[in-house]
Structure 1
Amino acid sequence: MIIKSTRIPTAHSGRIAAYLAKPSDNEIAAWIRGCPEDLKLLGEISRISGKQYSVRHFVISPNEPMSQQEFAMVFAEICREFGVSITSGNRASIVEHLKPRQSGVGNETHWHVAFPELDVETGRILSSRFTKLRNEKVARLCELTLGHTVVPGQFNKQVYRALERERQALDLKPFERALREASFAAGQDESMWLEYRARLRKKSRSPMNWTLDNQIV
């Protein structure tokens, strides 16, 4: 599972709304909750409040099929990790994108979730510290909980230690096994499995690259 997040500038609120409503590459979009006008409204609220960002955009892309109930679990874990309040969670827009694969093999569905950056009740901004690491932590947690294949990332050691500390009832053996196998496949010392880091892929030239540059680590 891959989870990515991006902070959308207030001035670009209409742009993210248009992208989610009409994705490229033959994708089919279905709004599960919210509508483009809701995202534009978040932009207007942030503009009036003098905030630089209006929307926190998450992309949730599982490697295996996932039901709506399983997606709801992932949504709840993101809210828990980033301190999304009930009010902000209820105002989140959720869009399901379906991209049929020519081969007919693999998962065809991924989700976009757009949370308000500004909590109108508390006036607080959504947490943005160590975003990439925390996204990986939620992804590994959800893979382990759902029984999906574990996908090694860039922050394996930090994520493993955090889950070991925070989720003591969670079985981390599949995580360790995935890291050992990845280390072996990369020609590295398998005993150093916790030090394994996946190689970064090149960024694709997609219509959303303008938002990826705003990602905060």
Structure 2
Amino acid sequence: MQMIIKGLRIRSKSGINRLIRHLRNGDDNETIAFLRGTASDIQDMHSDALFKGAAYSVRHWIVAPHAMMDRPQMRRVLDMIAKEFEFDADRAVVVEHRKRRSTQDATELHWHVLVGEVDPVTGCVLKSSFDRVVHELVARASEYAFGHPFVAGKHTHTVIKGLRKRGMTCAADGLERTLLLMPPIPAEAFTHAQHQEKKRLGLDLPALRQIVRDATSDGTSRAGLVEALSAAGLEVKAGDKPGTWIVVNTADGILVGALHRLAGRRKSEVDMLMEPAVSTLPIQKPPTSKDHSISQELKESRAPDFTVPLQPTQPERPTVARSSFAQVAEELAVMENKASNDLLTSFPVFKPTPAVKQIKEELRDANGKLKATRDRRWDIHEQLSKAPRVQWWCYAIGLAARRRRRIQDLERALIVAEKEKQRLQISVSGRESALHREETRAKELHAEQVRDVSRKHKSAREILERIDRIRTMISEDPALADKGVAHLMSVAEMRLGRWTSPEQFTDLVSAKQP
């Protein structure tokens, strides 16, 4: 999860009342505060756009940080947005909402910034070119400025170039070191319009997305995933688009979204999870019959009986002892079983380690203490600036000593608060470094596990290809079964166009061991 900065352009013909009702809505939010401007100012922005005949009336930004952020930091984000889109920050309406997020570790505060698309003085329209890239750039610059951990975005390469162009070399270097080698984040699970549409239908899309993510992370099979979603009133179905799975509300059948987008997983991973389980029933030997040829029996059985008599019309072939056929068939069946099971091995899901969770908890507490200390220092500074000064007439009435002691006490308290703030900043910085090291270690371990599974899948597919080729070879020349599995694997490898060293043949044959 990362700092989210999302911009929306409100059309003039769509009206502004729905947006104002959302900003004033106290049902979804615990607290609402207009930090700058009023709802009347938003109405004026809309009226100015209608008067000018502009297609859009209001630019609406949503600033939703994942880590804790206070109002002074929000003012810095506003200044960056104003600088990028070239408008005066003083004419923006800023609304603060507090509500519980769908993820437990995310901060409860988010802000709405609204600016008229048309400047009432100059008549110029706000910039909108490459706005998504700019939003991501402001988010990464804010994370660097506030000490939040970097998060990969969809436009990381372009953002790094933009930071360097703006002289933010340190932020660009930090982003490049930590995120350039990480895979890009998946596409967003839903858009703002979809979120509002589902809200009008009585569905909390962020909460449903979190339920799907938890069920997908915990589920190891299709049955487990279906059961977990069914308990939450959701159902998984095959979508109209081939190879796509969708999630619908069980009660009324309303579409929630695509399973892979809601789960934040790759489509291939979801397809592998939704594949039906492979039957593990014991392999039965087909009945022998003089009317069946060896090639027909090989197609119908995983462990064929090679001693079936040949059809009278076929030419005579060298006879081979039944023990050779049975042994080869048994070894091939064991190898095929093992390769099939290896092919069903699912990719591991990345989860934070206990050490990462502990450091995050410590970092959250340290950030809370740092915020409280900053607020206390700010209050002391305000009291000191407003404290009455010692003037000449204070000596005449005995008030000078009292005022001097008050000023001295505030100055000492300010020094103590400043030292405490510096100490907490060092502590937060140390925990952030430790968090970065632990997360890097956990991600490297996860990447190695993914590579192991990929190698296992590749080896299993190659073994299954060789087994199919061996069965074809034996159906054409049963005498080959007398030469053993190792020789058959080498011949099949050469016929498939790949060459393997003798040492690797031994490893391939060892795969038959359970």
- Report the AA paired with residue 3 of structure 1: I
User: SS at 1:129's partner residue?
Assistant: coil
C-alpha distance in 1 between matches for 2:111 and 2:169 = 28
- Compared CA separation, residues 163 and 109, structure 1 to 2 (3 A): same
Matches within 5 A, 1:148-163: 148-163=148-163
CA RMSD of aligned residues (A): 2.3
Give the deviation of 1:177 after TM superposition: 3.6
In 1: Cα distance, 2:127 partner to 2:29 partner: 33
What SS does the aligned partner of 1:206 have? helix
Contact 1:3 1:139 (C-alpha < 8 Å) held by counterparts: yes
- Describe the superposition over 1:166-194 as per-residue Cα deviations: whole angstroms up to 9, x where unpaired: 224433343124315634xxxxxxxxxxx
Q: CA–CA distance in 2 between the matches of 1:127 and 1:41?
A: 20
Structure 2: give runs of 5+ residues left out of the alignment: 199-514
5+ residue gaps, structure 1: 184-196, 210-217
State the distance in 1 between where 2:27 and 2:189 align: 20
1:206 is aligned, of 195, 219, 222, to 195
CA distance in 2: counterparts of 1:125 and 1:103, whole angstroms = 37
Decide whether the 8 Å contact of 1:60 with 1:111 is kept in 2.
yes
* Shift in alpha-carbon separation, 1:125–1:104, aligned structure 2, 3 A: same
- After TM superposition, give the deviation of residue 29 of structure 1 in Å: 1.9
Which structure's residues are more often strand, by fraction? 1
TM-score (norm. length: structure 2): 0.36
Instruction: Tell me if structure 2 keeps the 8 A contact 1:3–1:60.
Output: yes
Query: What is the one-letter code of the residue matched to 2:24?
Result: A
The Cα shift of 1:149 comes to 1.1
Aligned to 2:132: 132
Contact 2:163-2:169 within 8 A present in 1 as well: no
Q: Comparing 18-27 with 63-72, which one deviates more in the overlay? A: 18-27
With CA pairs under 8 Å and 6+ residues apart, which has the higher RCO, 1 or 2?
1
1:67-78 to structure 2, matched below 5 A, reads 67-78=70-81
2:63 touches 2:110 (CA, 8 Å); kept in 1? Answer: yes
Shift of 1:126: 0.3
Identity between Structure 1 and Structure 2 (%): 31
CA spacing shift, 1:157–1:203, aligned 2, 3 Å: same
Larger Rg: 2
> Do 2:153 and 2:185's aligned partners in 1 also have CA atoms closer than 8 Å?
yes
Three-state SS of the structure 2 residue aligned to 1:176 is helix
CA shift digits 1:80-118 (9 cap, x unpaired): 11111x3xx222111111013588643110100001111
Deviation at 1:75, TM superposition (A): 0.4
Deviations 1:100-142 (A, max 9, x none): 3588643110100001111111110000111111111111111
Is 1:63 the counterpart of 2:52? The answer is: no
Alignment of 1:1-217 (within 5 A): 1-11=3-13, 12-22=15-25, 25-84=28-87, 86=88, 89-100=89-100, 105-180=105-180, 182-183=182-183, 197-203=184-190, 205-207=194-196
User: Is contact 2:45–2:115 with CA below 8 Å preserved after alignment?
Assistant: no
Seen in structure 2, the aligned counterparts of structure 1 residues 153 and 24 have a Cα distance that, compared at 3 Å, is: farther
SS in 2 for 1:201: coil
Distance 1:135 1:102 in 2: 22
Greater fraction of residues in helix:
2
Cα distance in 1 for partners of 2:30, 2:10 equals 22
The secondary structure found in structure 2 opposite 1:171 is: helix
- Distance in 2 between the 1:56 and 1:208 partners? 20
- After TM superposition, where is structure 1 displaced by more than 4 Å over at least 4 residues in a row? 101-104
Query: What one-letter code is carried by the residue in structure 2 that aligns with 1:119?
Result: D
Q: What count of residue pairs does the alignment treat as equivalent?
A: 194
Deviation at 1:21, TM superposition (A): 1.2
Moved more, 168-177 or 3-12: 168-177
Aligned partner letter, 1:123? G
| Letter aligned with residue 5 of structure 1 | G
Q: Which amino acid aligns with 2:195?
A: S
2:467 aligns with none
Q: What is the alpha-carbon distance in structure 2 between the residues aligned to residue 157 and residue 21 of structure 1? A: 38
